[in-house]
Amino acid sequence: VQILLKLWRNGFSLDDGELRSYSDPINAQFLESVKRGEIPVELQRLVHGGQVNLDMEDHQEQEYVKPRLRFKAFSGEGQKLGSLTPEIVSTPSSPEEEEKSILNAPVLIDDSMPATKIQIRLADGSRLIQRFNQTHRIKHIRDFIIQSRPAFATTDFVLVTTFPNKELTDESLTLQEADILNTVILQQLK
């Protein structure tokens, strides 16, 4: 953690925080720790035993002026509204994970025919990634799920595309006819 200690004529501040008076005993103890080259207890608690870099600026010829708050844009994570599941913007799968899911239940691939990868998000929260030929049918995806996760063999479920959500009811369609090449398919329990 990077912390900036600014020394003013009438006190000190940490980063762009409030002015702390030199006369307050807690603040005096804080500064004594810094003078001895130790990390003050307050900062140790703040970083939970991590590393602290404490930089200092000398402004002792100036009076403390409260800094203007800087605009900080939202840096959180958003979710789409109206979708059954949130779209994952980027979760690159590792080659090991892909290899593991491919080995779980082999699908016979004709290498002379065009192929596609389908990611299947299962109702239990896990996911499978599998290569299929474009001529494989939606029924083959269902069979692959049951082979990979035998617990779903006795469970009634449907396959759904991501946004716009469309249930894949005609399982005799090829992946190309269903327009689901290189997509994500969701398994939903009935």
Residue 33 has pLDDT above 60, yes or no: yes
Q: What is the CATH number of the domain that holds 118?
A: 3.10.20.90
Mean pLDDT of the chain: 82
The answer to whether residue 91 is domain-embedded is no
The answer to whether residue 82 is domain-embedded is no
Burial of 175 (0-12, 13-18, 19+ CB in 10 A): buried
pLDDT tens, 123-176?
888 889 999 999 999 999 999 998 888 888 888 899 999 877 888 889 899 989
The answer to whether residue 99 is domain-embedded is no
Tokens of 105: 């239940």
Domain total of the chain? 2
* Neighbouring-strand partners of residue 174: 137
The answer to whether residue 119 is domain-embedded is yes
Which one of 12, 28, 56 terminates a domain? 56
Which whole number is the average pLDDT over 179-189? Answer: 90
* Neighbouring-strand partners of residue 121: 127, 186
The answer to whether residue 81 is domain-embedded is no
* Segments forming the whole domain that contains residue 144: 113-187
The answer to whether residue 65 is domain-embedded is no
Provide the residue count of the chain.
190
The answer to whether residue 88 is domain-embedded is no
Confidence class for position 15, pLDDT limits 50, 70, 90: confident
Write down the number of H helices and E strands in the chain.
Answer: 4, 7
Among 68, 57, 183, residue whose Cα is nearest residue 132: 183
The answer to whether residue 101 is domain-embedded is no
Which whole number is the average pLDDT over 62-66? Answer: 86
Q: Provide the percentage of residues in the chain whose pLDDT is more than 90.
A: 29
Q: What is the CATH number of the domain that holds 36?
A: 3.30.420.210
* Alpha-carbon gap, residue 60 to 67, rounded angstroms: 16
Between 18 and 47, the higher pLDDT residue: 18
- pLDDT value of residue 97: 52
pLDDT tens, 97-124?
544 444 455 788 888 999 999 999 998 8
- pLDDT value of residue 103: 47
Residues in CB range of 48: below 8 A, 6 or more apart: none
Residues in CB range of 10: below 8 A, 6 or more apart: 19, 21, 22, 63, 64
- pLDDT value of residue 154: 86
